[in-house]
Amino acid sequence: IANSEDHTVLAAVLDSTDLDVALSGEGPFTVFAPTDAAFDAVDPMTLISLLLDNEALSAVLTYHVVGDSVMSTDLTDDQVIATLNGGNVTVSIVDGTVMINEATVIVADLVGSNGVVHVIDAVLLPPAHIPQPIPPIPPAPCAGRALRRLRFPHQGRYFQER
């Protein structure tokens, strides 16, 4: 990962959280490594909030790591794999395409001295870090009365509800 031109963002955030030191240990590890393009696709506000919160960033990064060496031939459809952050990822295999949650494995089985790397096309966000939609704000009870009193300059009169 450290010398890959497609993983400069991943290498930088691993370094900023000191996880690069832990992952260079004895292992074995499996890393689902998102490309720079995968980080570019993350919602900018989510990415900023992660970069400002070292604990949350570490949780997301360790969600990409398994404490074992898992080759692509070891993966099965609907397999659930525990990650180092305590969460699980789910493997899907459809027509030979391997998915880890919503991410597609685009390069598999890059074997290193302490494990294996599978390159993926999306950043995996643990369920606690998936942004939830903002619920709609209910209208204030008096909003209807206020809207009925609006003056529209081109009409020269108040808008009245029928």
Q: What is the pTM of this model?
A: 0.75
pLDDT tens digits along 30-71: 999 999 999 999 988 888 888 888 888 899 999 999 999 999
- Rounded CA-CA distance 49/54 in Å is 9
Q: Give the CA angle between residues 22, 63, 89 to the nearest 5°.
A: 135
